[in-house]
Amino acid sequence: MKIASKEISAVSLVQEALDKAKKYADYNIFISMNEEAALNRAKEIDAKIAKGEKVGRLAGVPYACKDNFLSKQGATTAASKILEPLKAPLDATAIEKLEKEGAIMIGRVNLDAFAHGSSTENSYFGVTKNSADTTRVAGGSSGGSAVAVALDIVPFATGTDTGGSIRQPASFNGIYGIKPTYGTISRYGVVAMASSLDCVGFLARSAEDLDLLMEICAGQDPKDLTTLPDYYVNREVKEPKKIGVIKDFDSDAIDSTIRGALKQKLDELKSDGYEIVDLEMPILKYALAVYYIICPAEVTSNLSRYDGIRYGYRSDEAKAVDEIFGKTRSDGFMPENKRRIMVGNFVLSSGFYDAYFLKAMKARTLIIQAFEDAFKKCDVILAPVSPNPAFKIGEKVNDPVAMYMEDILSVTLNLAGVPGVAIPVGKTESGLPLGLQLIGPRRSDKSLLAFAGKIGNSLDKEGA
Amino acid sequence: MKYYPTIGIECHVQLSTKTKLFSEVDNDARGKEPNSCVSPVDYALPGMLPRLNGEAIKYAIRAGKAMNCKINQYSRFDRKHYFYPDSPKGFQITQFYHPIIGEGYVELPSGTKIRIEHAHLEGDAGKLTHFDTYSLVDLNRVDTPLIEIVSMPDIHSSADARDYCKELWRLMCYAGVTNGDLYNGNMRFDVNTSLAPEGAKELGTRTEVKNLNSFRSVERAIEYEIKRQSKLLDSGEKVIQETLGWNDATGETTGQRSKEEAKDYRYMPEPDIPPIKLSEEFIKEEMEKVPMLPNDYREKFGGVIPNDTLEVLLDYPQLMGKLGELSDKSIKNIANLFSSVLLAEEKSSEMLEQLPTGKQLEDLSEMKEKGELSSTGMKEVFAKLFDPQMKTKDTCNIAKELNVIQENDTGALEAIVDGVIADPACAQAVADYKAGSEKVLGFLVGQVMKASRGKANPGAAQQILKQKLQ
């Protein structure tokens, strides 16, 4: 807005973002920068404004792109070796929509390779550090996105959330993040992780900014058959009255700082006149197991295309065709990628399909029903995002099960397809950000964001 | 020992839709550069998602109708995983659990019914060309829509197998869902053959011969397998369940892999394509678009066109369609022209694409029936109906231009006959006839024809000669 009214030029805004990115290089946020192209775009936009031409709603706003989106600008790595980086001939639908409104991508940010992880430690390009404590992880997989926004390098970043990958790093870094209802934003041009769980979303410094990004990017896309007819743009907002609390989440497995933050927020809401409703959702204790069957199955399938034949990395040692597949994939994937490929192949193999995959699909239906039932009793649910604040780098990386436990509270939303918004609610005594998530029924994203803006902490005295 | 063969056939039919099954790329790669009909969706760029070609769904419904199959209102796609350079996604999108086409049957010309187990939609693979030290990949064919038709093991002879494949081919061509070009792989057959002692309750071990692309090779491959398996069984050996290739030159089946590995395709529901739900009305509407099928024509033309001719003509839906436009009295003449003239032409395939109008053919047959054209004249005019210079004209005008209309005018004919009788060169013949020699009549008719420069109707000339010489 300030840019359009000539208070700040797009060039100075982009330059400032680029300078900050350099200043925070030690955090290892960016995989690649778009310096020249970004400044050129900013000049174009300034020229348009000078001529009094109409500019988009994001004219001159710099942003960071999680490096699993394709765009004609730059090259995509998905933080892996196997893409070697990939120069794409097209823009992901979300990127196309952002750029059309004048947003300027200043660079591509780090993630766990192929978004497999909860700490951005599984990246071929090294670990990204937490914005509040560089000895701790950024969270993941959208770790680079979260730190770039938290350090105020850019006002927003794109993200993807398959099992918490937007919400968890957002709350580890004290910012806002939305995982929309499944099918709200097109997945076209986004490197697939697990197709039935993947959601494109954003990380930003306020719920208001997230709402604008949703206004721009939500909607049906003929290139993604799973997108929903638009339910978001210019829709009315409904204020919730009843706030649900999932009692099954209230256990010792969750850090006292997080439980304390939740209790405090609930007390505030209660005194503000909201009704607090206790929810029993026992099926959720199976959510993590269900997730770690369905997700690897779809992962193994979606990663099958990386075979060294048509693009990306191919092992030099490979001669025969089986060697091309074998050596390329052995060298090109990270250990966590391989772990999920193996689990996925196992649960899909004949003889195990019924016992694992099919059973998990049935349990998933029950989880969907459990949320439908819950939203008959309340309007929104307030819950923790993760069992703990940001943990130490290296603390869990060699303990896959502990790492998977990180997702125990976040994956349920992806299985159910319902939206979730991570909101910052405070800090631990040692200064680590604390976040919670608001969960709503399918298609309630706009109301959810409005409420998130109301109850979440404010980061900025002034917006971008 | 005598063995009883049991045969099941899987047939892949390439659908002739405008675009591919999952992208908007041209589906007709004939004569095009390798890898020129390929989109990022087809070559599986990361982040690409399949779209779904609605035309292919309609084609599947029509194909199903042609095979008397039930169309499932609910169907879905699945992923079938395997690594091979011809499969860019690392999986094929197919319908493993919920196919669009359910049970049905195909009736052979002999009356035997072969049941269809199901048929499903799927994307085709690319093409590999192997050289000494390298191979080339052409992805033009990737995700061309296919329907795979799976028969029940209802076939028990190589001849029935051939007839089944041929009838399937005809059905798909009549339903208008494929170009039907076998040479270019538009239809490919996988044949499962097993032998069991006559009267045995259980089936024997089967082998599968893959990728046969002619009816003849289906027949030969089965004959070869029956012989090969009989020999094995006679000598007490076992038939190994394996996939075989067919060498058309040597007439033998060959093992494709030395080590037969049990494949696990790790099927999984395709999460990027929501299930297909079809309304009854939609299915009905599409089924009604299926034109007359071979059996309908057999019924319609059975008494009119001789069986042998009919079976030949049935290979050409265009000809059947054209015959269908004609009135009953013209069908026999025109069917005869189609089989004896058109199909004998070197350029018959081009001619099939530009058949004369129903009216032109109708007129042609009528002129013949009225005696205005001789058989030879009819054939001459028929040929000109394909001539770019002539084809837009009326049949009658073409006949006039060719000067082949027979002289039926009794007055004019009588004058010619009178001339012949008066001709001294014919005096001897006339005298012989009057003396009772019938055989000279032919000579005299010939003279009339000659005097009329071929335009006289020989029947009429004979009639008049007989009258005059009485």
Q: Could you tell me if residue B229 is inside a domain? A: yes
Q: Are residues B26 and B117 part of one domain?
A: yes
- The confidence score (pLDDT) of residue B262 equals 66
DSSP conformation class of B279: -
- The confidence score (pLDDT) of residue B258 equals 45
Asked if residue B156 lies in contact with residue B7, where contact means CB atoms within 8 angstroms, the answer is yes
- The confidence score (pLDDT) of residue B256 equals 67
Place of tokens 């005019």: B381
Residue that finishes a domain, picked among B361, B386, B402: B402
Other CB atoms within a 10 A radius of the CB of residue A330 amount to: 10
Q: Do A307 and B268 touch (CB under 8 A)?
A: no
Residues A198-250 have pLDDT tens digits of: 999 999 999 999 999 999 999 999 999 999 999 999 999 999 999 999 998 88
Other CB atoms within a 10 A radius of the CB of residue B197 amount to: 12
CA distance B73 to B87: 29
For residue B88, the Cα-to-chain-centroid distance in whole angstroms is 33
For B190, the token pair is: 């996988």
Place of tokens 């926004």: A149
CA distance A132 to A24: 12
How many helices (H) does chain A have, and how many strands (E)? 14, 11
- Active-site annotation holder among A118, A142, A145, A165: A165
Asked if residue B194 lies in contact with residue B250, where contact means CB atoms within 8 angstroms, the answer is no
Task: Give long-range contacts, CB 8 A cutoff, 24+ apart: B442-445.
Answer: B444/B420
Tell me the backbone φ, ψ of residue B144, rounded to 5 degrees. -60, 135
Residues B174-231 have pLDDT tens digits of: 999 999 999 999 999 999 999 999 888 899 999 999 999 999 999 999 999 999 999 9
Q: Are residues B215 and B161 part of one domain?
A: yes
**DSSP reduced 3-state for B31:** coil
CA distance B116 to A381: 52
Q: Are residues B416 and B398 part of one domain?
A: no
Contacts of B264 in chain A (CB under 8 A): 349-350
Structure confidence at residue A5 as a pLDDT band (50, 70, 90)? low
Asked if A141 is an active-site residue, the reply is yes
Taking Cα atoms as reference points, which of A184, A189, A209, A93 lies closest to residue A419? A184
What domains are there in chain A, each with its CATH number? 10-217 (3.90.1300.10)
Taking Cα atoms as reference points, which of A386, A337, A374, A401 lies closest to residue A167? A386
CA distance B97 to B120: 10
Residues B227-266 have pLDDT tens digits of: 999 999 999 999 999 999 999 999 999 886 544 556 899 9
Q: Could you tell me if residue B286 is inside a domain? A: no
**DSSP reduced 3-state for B29:** coil
Partners of B247 in beta bridges: B252
- Cβ-nearest to B40 among A90, A196, A225: A90
Residue that finishes a domain, picked among B280, B312, B337: B280
What is the ipTM score, two decimals? 0.95
Amino acid identity, position B359: K
Sequence-distant (6+) residues with CB within 8 A of B227 are none
Residue that finishes a domain, picked among B280, B312, B342: B280
- The confidence score (pLDDT) of residue A461 equals 46
Q: What percent of chain A has pLDDT over 70?
A: 98
End-to-end CA distance of chain A: 8
Q: In whole angstroms, how far apart are CA B159 and each of B197, B345, B364, B427?
A: 20, 29, 39, 63
- The confidence score (pLDDT) of residue B391 equals 86
Other CB atoms within a 10 A radius of the CB of residue B22 amount to: 27
Q: Are residues B390 and B335 part of one domain?
A: yes
CATH of the domain at B418: 1.10.10.410
Q: At what angle do helices B440-451 and B458-468 cross, to 10 degrees?
A: 120
Residues A257-310 have pLDDT tens digits of: 999 999 999 999 999 999 999 999 999 999 999 999 999 999 999 999 999 999
Q: Are residues B345 and B273 part of one domain?
A: no
How many helices (H) does chain B have, and how many strands (E)? 16, 15
Q: Are residues B309 and B379 part of one domain?
A: yes
Return the residue of B nearest to A329 by Cα: B83
**DSSP reduced 3-state for A424:** strand
For A108, the token pair is: 């591509």
Question: Residues of chain B whose pLDDT is less than 70?
Answer: 256-262, 407
Structure confidence at residue A1 as a pLDDT band (50, 70, 90)? very low
Asked if residue A102 lies in contact with residue A55, where contact means CB atoms within 8 angstroms, the answer is yes
Q: Are residues B97 and B238 part of one domain?
A: yes
DSSP letter for each residue of A217-252:
HBS-BTTBTTPPPP--TTPPP----EEEEEGGG-ST
Residues of B in CB contact (< 8 Å) with A are 40, 43-52, 79, 81, 83-85, 88-91, 135, 137, 264, 266-269, 271-274
Place of tokens 């109409």: A54
Structure confidence at residue A463 as a pLDDT band (50, 70, 90)? very low
Return the residue of B nearest to A325 by Cα: B83
- The confidence score (pLDDT) of residue A179 equals 98
Q: Are residues B55 and B16 part of one domain?
A: yes
Taking Cα atoms as reference points, which of B16, B105, B123 lies closest to residue B66? B105
Partners of A422 in beta bridges: A177, A437
CA distance B29 to B179: 12
Q: Could you tell me if residue B315 is inside a domain? A: yes
Contacts of A304 in chain B (CB under 8 A): 81, 83, 89-91
- The confidence score (pLDDT) of residue A112 equals 98
Q: Could you tell me if residue B349 is inside a domain? A: yes
Other CB atoms within a 10 A radius of the CB of residue A248 amount to: 15
DSSP conformation class of A282: G
Rg (CA), chain B: 30
10 Å CB burial of residue B367 (0-12, 13-18, 19+) is: buried
Mean pLDDT of A99-128: 97
Contacts of A353 in chain B (CB under 8 A): 266-267
Q: Are residues B249 and B161 part of one domain?
A: yes
Mean pLDDT of A315-338: 94
Minimum distance, in Å, between the CA of residue A225 and any CA atom of chain B: 6
Contacts of A88 in chain B (CB under 8 A): 45, 47
Q: Could you tell me if residue B285 is inside a domain? A: no
- The confidence score (pLDDT) of residue A460 equals 65
Asked if A118 is an active-site residue, the reply is no
Q: Are residues B192 and B115 part of one domain?
A: yes
CA distance B379 to B373: 9
Taking Cα atoms as reference points, which of A278, A251, A268 lies closest to residue A405? A251
Q: Could you tell me if residue B287 is inside a domain? A: no
Q: Are residues B421 and B344 part of one domain?
A: no
Place of tokens 């923790």: A384
Asked if A66 is an active-site residue, the reply is yes
Place of tokens 């058989």: B375
For A88, the token pair is: 């794409």
CA distance B404 to B375: 10
Count up the domains in chain B and report the number. 3
Q: Could you tell me if residue B161 is inside a domain? A: yes
- Active-site annotation holder among A71, A118, A119, A141: A141
- The confidence score (pLDDT) of residue A41 equals 97
Q: Are residues B444 and B323 part of one domain?
A: no
Domain of B195 in residue numbering reads as 3-280
